[in-house]
């Protein structure tokens, strides 16, 4: 690629536009599902929490499988193209299911969406990474950050607007819009197919034989069946998700034993990072489970007293803050580097835990400020999201970037999928624990229930985040030693190879 040394190569800009469209379609749908299952399909709070946890977890946990398939069998470009085609169909069928309140079709539609996410989640990062030259890795990290911010812009736009549009278009209209947005990504893939294939992996540039395609089709059908089963059997399905996540991590451990000595140390540092990410993204998982239910039940319908908002749109605060704070966080990082201090990625996670502790401490505090109308001011949820979004933005997509740099290239898509596995395991764990605050339908929210159920839960999460900040700082030193040892071994190998050539 002739512009691979540019700050934003052309194909990187195409991929970033794709990210905006995907973020708008996926998260616009996501924000509607809680009330759709609660009110339209008549699910209980506990079952709705589990459904949202499973919906958030299924795609990421299968993404390691999708990354493996992309690495070894069909290629990264094909994985994205097929996945986004499936997204388009899934959103359309969800709209059709909503039009007649068909529970089975709705579950099948979100199973399709979960399958699509699992197949395609890791490959866009691989395509983005390959659009930059090996000598342009700093720009790649900046590209990841911009990609993340643009995703948040698309996410905020749809999460704020879609709940308002329900009054005019009903749920099915919004789901059809999501399908249309995904179809636009397919137009991009058709228009720029040749250049996207160039930044794919080697398999993308070769024909895939019929036997491989048949195996892929059979495997996809099995994967889709498993995803549907998880959604239709939530209580048992969570154990399948735990098992799949554990199996992906065990496979990575197996690959550690096969790696060179240098990569053994680096990949061990990835294992520690996975533990840290699971712990951190547990708090991210709370945002669409416990925090979302709390906001739907108790949040007022205005912020700052005059800006209208639907309670289910509270999730839009997160991408809004991530988008607004993106540039300031980058500025602070640049300022620290000019001062000679560049915090490690684990250290950034430790700082993120501190801000999560503030966010959930504030959420617990908000329970003491219920007004005469039985609601808390929307401003509380806005500022809770400020601190949690700052925590999220501090680490952003750095986990994926860290993993990409620490593993052999033949494992890149699968290894990046491990970040998604961490997201999945933390998400389903967050949902399971969040059911502790689920209330029966038509429960009257008395001060005693608000204090005993919500306040105690959120204060407990805040205390745990403080503990994890300390643990992460300790683990950051271990990670630094492992990376340093791996780099020393790489240098020794390079020196020996140079000596042999002479």
Does 10-497 carry CATH code 1.10.132.20? no
d(CA 158, CA 174) in angstroms, rounded, equals 9
Give the contacts of 289 (CB within 8 A, at least 6 positions apart). 49, 52, 53, 430, 431, 434
pTM of the model: 0.80
* pLDDT band for position 1 (cuts 50, 70, 90): very low
d(CA 10, CA 2) in angstroms, rounded, equals 10
Among residues 444, 451, 446, which one has the least CA distance to residue 367? Answer: 451
pLDDT at 407: 78
Core vs surface per residue 348-360: b (16+ CB within 10 A) or e: bbbbbbbbbbbbb
Straight-line distance from the first to the last Cα atom of the chain, in angstroms, rounded to the nearest whole number: 33
- Across 2-9, average pLDDT: 68
pLDDT at 4: 62
Tokens of 394: 């501090």
Core vs surface per residue 417-451: b (16+ CB within 10 A) or e: bbbbbbbbbbbbbbbbbbbebbbeeeeeeeeeebe
In this model, does residue 104 exceed pLDDT 90?
yes
Domain ranges for the chain, please list them: 10-497
CB 79 within 8 A of CB 124: no
Lowest mean pLDDT of 71-75, 105-109, 118-122, 401-405, name the range.
401-405
CB 111 within 8 A of CB 227: yes
d(CA 232, CA 41) in angstroms, rounded, equals 13
What confidence tens digit (pLDDT) does each residue in 445-498 have? 888 888 888 999 999 999 999 999 999 888 888 888 888 887 787 777 666 666
Tokens of 496: 């020996």
Lowest mean pLDDT of 73-82, 145-154, 303-312, name the range.
145-154
pLDDT at 501: 63
- Across 14-21, average pLDDT: 92
What confidence tens digit (pLDDT) does each residue in 147-170 have? 877 888 899 899 999 999 998 999
Task: Find the helix or strand (DSSP H, E) in which 270 lies.
Answer: helix 261-287
d(CA 123, CA 132) in angstroms, rounded, equals 15
pLDDT at 137: 63
């Amino acid at each position: 690629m002739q512009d691979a040394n540019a700050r934003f190569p052309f194909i990187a800009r195409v991929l970033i536009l794709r990210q905006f469209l995907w973020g708008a379609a996926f998260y616009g749908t996501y924000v509607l599902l809680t009330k759709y299952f609660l009110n339209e399909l008549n699910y209980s709070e506990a079952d709705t929490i589990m459904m949202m946890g499973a919906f958030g977890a299924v795609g990421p946990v299968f993404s390691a499988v999708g990354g493996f398939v992309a690495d070894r069998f069909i290629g990264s470009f094909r994985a994205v193209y097929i996945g986004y085609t499936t997204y388009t169909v899934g959103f359309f069928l969800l709209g059709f299911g909503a039009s007649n309140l068909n529970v089975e079709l709705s579950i099948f539609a979100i199973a399709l969406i979960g399958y699509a996410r699992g197949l395609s989640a890791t490959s866009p990062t691989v395509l983005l990474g390959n659009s930059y030259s090996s000598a342009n890795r700093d720009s790649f990290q900046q590209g990841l950050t911009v990609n993340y911010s643009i995703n948040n812009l698309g996410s905020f736009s749809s999460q704020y607007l879609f709940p308002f549009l329900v009054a005019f278009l009903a749920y099915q209209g919004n789901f059809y819009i999501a399908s249309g947005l995904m179809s636009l990504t397919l137009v991009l893939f058709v228009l720029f197919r040749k250049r996207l294939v160039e930044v794919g992996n080697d398999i993308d540039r070769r024909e895939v034989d019929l036997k491989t395609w048949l195996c892929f089709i059979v495997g996809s059908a099995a994967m889709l069946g498993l995803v549907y089963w998880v959604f239709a059997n939530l209580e048992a399905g969570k154990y399948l998700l735990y098992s799949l996540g554990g199996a992906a991590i065990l496979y990575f451990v197996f690959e550690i034993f096969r790696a060179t000595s240098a990569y053994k140390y680096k990949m061990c540092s990835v294992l520690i990072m996975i533990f840290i990410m699971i712990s951190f993204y547990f708090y991210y998982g709370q945002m669409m489970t416990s925090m979302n239910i709390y906001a739907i039940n108790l949040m007022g319908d205005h912020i700052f007293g005059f800006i209208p908002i639907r309670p289910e749109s509270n999730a839009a605060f997160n991408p809004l803050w991530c988008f607004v704070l993106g540039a300031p966080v980058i500025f602070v990082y640049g300022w620290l580097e000019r001062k000679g201090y560049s915090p490690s990625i684990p250290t950034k996670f430790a700082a993120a835990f501190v801000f999560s502790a503030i966010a959930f401490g504030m959420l617990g505090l908000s329970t003491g400020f219920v007004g005469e109308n039985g609601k808390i001011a929307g401003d509380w949820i806005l500022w809770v999201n400020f601190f949690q979004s700052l925590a999220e933005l501090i680490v952003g997509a750095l986990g994926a970037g860290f993993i990409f740099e620490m593993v052999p290239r033949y494992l890149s898509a699968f290894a990046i999928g491990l970040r998604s596995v961490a997201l999945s395991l933390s998400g389903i764990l967050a949902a399971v624990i969040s059911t502790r605050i689920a209330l029966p339908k038509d429960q009257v929210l008395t001060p005693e229930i608000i204090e005993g159920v919500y306040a105690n839960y959120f204060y407990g999460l805040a205390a745990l985040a403080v503990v994890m900040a300390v643990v992460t700082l300790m683990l950051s030193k271990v990670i630094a030693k492992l990376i340093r040892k791996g780099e020393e071994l790489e240098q020794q190998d390079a020196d020996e190879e140079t000596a042999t050539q002479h």
